[in-house]
Amino acid sequence: MTAEFAYPRRVEFAETDAFGIVHFASMFCYMEEAEHSLWHAAGLTLAGRHGPHGWPRVSATFSFRNPLHYPDDFIVQVRLEASGRSSLRYAFDVVRGDTLIGTGTMITVCVRRDSGTMIPVEVPPGVMEKLRAVLDRDGS
Amino acid sequence: MTAEFAYPRRVEFAETDAFGIVHFASMFCYMEEAEHSLWHAAGLTLAGRHGPHGWPRVSATFSFRNPLHYPDDFIVQVRLEASGRSSLRYAFDVVRGDTLIGTGTMITVCVRRDSGTMIPVEVPPGVMEKLRAVLDRDGS
Amino acid sequence: MTAEFAYPRRVEFAETDAFGIVHFASMFCYMEEAEHSLWHAAGLTLAGRHGPHGWPRVSATFSFRNPLHYPDDFIVQVRLEASGRSSLRYAFDVVRGDTLIGTGTMITVCVRRDSGTMIPVEVPPGVMEKLRAVLDRDGS
Amino acid sequence: MTAEFAYPRRVEFAETDAFGIVHFASMFCYMEEAEHSLWHAAGLTLAGRHGPHGWPRVSATFSFRNPLHYPDDFIVQVRLEASGRSSLRYAFDVVRGDTLIGTGTMITVCVRRDSGTMIPVEVPPGVMEKLRAVLDRDGS
């Protein structure tokens, strides 16, 4: 059984490009949306206006296997691959039915917003537990 | 003679859509870029991180005459049509050579950022003079 | 009773800007998404890959009353205000609960994609009937 | 001496997010713009409307070291790291003055557009020579 969260989405027309496919940069937005949807399902807010923390991205990757088109329905599957003292590493599969569109990764780090810096701080207590609870519940 | 400012730009591939043309929402980004370029030419910063003011958009319009394609070179011509106590109204022509791509308008209003509200405040002194100096210098 | 269609949406983080609000150009994407969602509900595809027609935007407007923030839930209400031989005119209200975020309009025109031009053609038979059936059914 | 091409750019306001920094997905657009600018400097068009080839992205990565803000001026440095029979691998450094914003990679593959598929074909003759001529000329 894989602990994962499924984020369903439809391609919007604005996300396509003149090759007639989804522009590759949109994949990074899809991964971020899936991450935020996971947090929301866990009762957490990743980037609230008044919260003390921010979660800037440290790195992101995506590898394509097949193109997406408008108006495809697809799913972004999120897994939490690793967690450090101040960072989280996610893995993503983007699928349309049985077709793998591609796979990606993203590392985010927790910082204090009021400090005006990007110095990592510890992941707030409870965050990992709440995320894992959703991933375990929804996994297959 | 028209007091106006010319912002030259090339279409980027990410701005196109699956019809093979520039997605219409990009025109609103082009108009905003031209506005910001005008402010920059006037030695002003519209949306600096630490400045006291913000300039949210109150309204925006665009009417198309012809499509833009990748990798067209085009120009956004900016005019300052009107100014109120706390707002500015711009007009824009987007042209590619002799071809009119379309025309637009945008109204922005000055607010204090630290107030956390969108209550309009007076346009800071000197802004209009500096903008008009560039528009008069560059107009044709 | 108003014949209209409701498109529910959540603000995504990528749609915000450094003022902490949804960037104004995203409103035009929201209106387009709502239009496409209406077409989808009517069993129609506005911009399919292999269809003979395209629907470029002729004009679009939006006026703000209040800002949207991440991660607000909001609704785009779509109405079909007028239809010509080859064009449709939509009106939109964007609302978050009882708060009006703003109002917009969009005019689209039907063209033949294979012609390589933007010459308007007649709205294909059945389109208006199917759109109106959804708008009448979902209106309030 | 490094064979590389420098693409200068200013951050546009629409590219920021509510954390007050450039949204991470924009980095992928910046890398693509730099790639296209290199092709343009070489007298080549990567994604012309009527050309026989397309260059979809196979993979892309970016790792952040420091955030970018509006309205920072920055440079995207492009290198051609490797080339296969049908693919190109680029490496990118994004810098603001002496500050490294981050590094990225992108692999693109040549396909025939008229085939309606994503089957790789050989890189057209002359492309590598023209790209390398620019990279050697502009390198430092």
State the DSSP H helix or E strand holding residue B131, giving kind and residue range, or none if neither: helix B127-138
Give tens-digit pLDDT for B26-81.
999 999 999 999 999 999 988 777 778 889 999 999 999 999 999 999 999 999 99
Residues in chain A within 8 Å Cβ distance of D113? 19
Query: What b/e sequence results for A3-24 when a residue is b if at least 16 CB atoms lie within 10 Å of its CB, and e otherwise?
Result: bbbbbebebbbbbbbbbbbbbb
C20 touches chain D (CB under 8 A): yes
More confident residue, B112 or D94: D94
Of all residues in chain A, the one with the smallest CA distance to C68 is A49
Tell me if C49 and B19 make a contact (CB, 8 A cut-off). Answer: no
pLDDT of residue C68: 96
Give tens-digit pLDDT for D48-105.
777 788 899 999 999 999 999 999 999 999 999 988 999 999 999 999 999 999 999 9
Tell me if B66 and C118 make a contact (CB, 8 A cut-off). Answer: yes
Phi, psi of A43 (to 5 degrees): 75, 20
**Banded pLDDT at C138 (limits 50, 70, 90):** confident
pLDDT of residue D51: 79
D113 touches chain A (CB under 8 A): yes
D:31-50 residues touching chain B, CB 8 A cutoff: 32-33, 36, 40, 45-49
**Banded pLDDT at B10 (limits 50, 70, 90):** very high
**Has the ipTM of the complex gone over 0.85?**
yes
Mean pLDDT, rounded, of chain B: 93
For residues D93 and D139, the answer to whether their CB atoms sit within 8 Å is no
D70 touches chain C (CB under 8 A): yes
Query: What b/e sequence results for B16-44 when a residue is b if at least 16 CB atoms lie within 10 Å of its CB, and e otherwise?
Result: bbbbbbbbbbbbbbbbbbbbbbbbebbeb
D71 touches chain B (CB under 8 A): yes
Give tens-digit pLDDT for C47-102.
777 778 889 999 999 999 999 999 999 999 999 998 899 999 999 999 999 999 99
Tell me if B49 and D13 make a contact (CB, 8 A cut-off). Answer: no
Residue D47 has pLDDT above 90, yes or no: no
Give tens-digit pLDDT for C25-44.
999 999 999 999 999 999 99
Instruction: Please identify which residue in the block is written with the tokens 């009006």.
Output: C100
Phi, psi of B30 (to 5 degrees): -60, -45
Span B79-95, average pLDDT: 95
Task: Fill in the amino acid letter for C134.
Answer: V
Which subunits count as partners of chain A given 3+ CB pairs below 8 Å?
B, C, D
Which residue from B26, B47, B60 is facing C18, i.e. has the nearest CB? B47
Residue C8 has pLDDT above 70, yes or no: yes
pLDDT of residue B46: 84
Residue D116 has pLDDT above 70, yes or no: no
For residues A31 and A104, the answer to whether their CB atoms sit within 8 Å is yes
pLDDT of residue D139: 79
**Cα end-to-end distance, chain D, whole Å:** 5
pLDDT of residue A115: 62
Which residue from C13, C40, C69 is facing A36, i.e. has the nearest CB? C13
Q: For every residue of chain C, which 3-state class applies, written as one string?
A: CCCCEEEEEECCHHHECCCCCECHHHHHHHHHHHHHHHHHHCCCCCCCCCCCEECCEEEEEEEECCCCCCCCEEEEEEEEEEECCCEEEEEEEEEECCEEEEEEEEEEECEEHHHCCCCECCCCCCHHHHHHHHHHHHCC
Tell me if C70 and D18 make a contact (CB, 8 A cut-off). Answer: yes
Phi, psi of B38 (to 5 degrees): -60, -45
The span from the CA of A78 to the CA of A42, in Å, is: 13
pLDDT of residue A51: 78
Residue B115 has pLDDT above 70, yes or no: no
Number of H helices, E strands in chain D: 2, 7
Tell me if C17 and D21 make a contact (CB, 8 A cut-off). Answer: no
Nearest CA to CA, how far is C21 from chain D (Å)? Answer: 7
Task: Print pLDDT tens along chain A (140 aa).
Answer: 689 999 999 999 999 999 999 999 999 999 999 999 999 999 998 877 777 888 999 999 999 999 999 999 999 999 999 889 999 999 999 999 999 999 999 999 999 877 667 789 999 999 999 999 999 998 76
Which subunits count as partners of chain C given 3+ CB pairs below 8 Å?
A, B, D
Mean pLDDT, rounded, of chain D: 93
pLDDT of residue A52: 84
Tell me if C25 and B25 make a contact (CB, 8 A cut-off). Answer: yes
Tell me if C32 and A46 make a contact (CB, 8 A cut-off). Answer: no
More confident residue, C104 or D139: C104
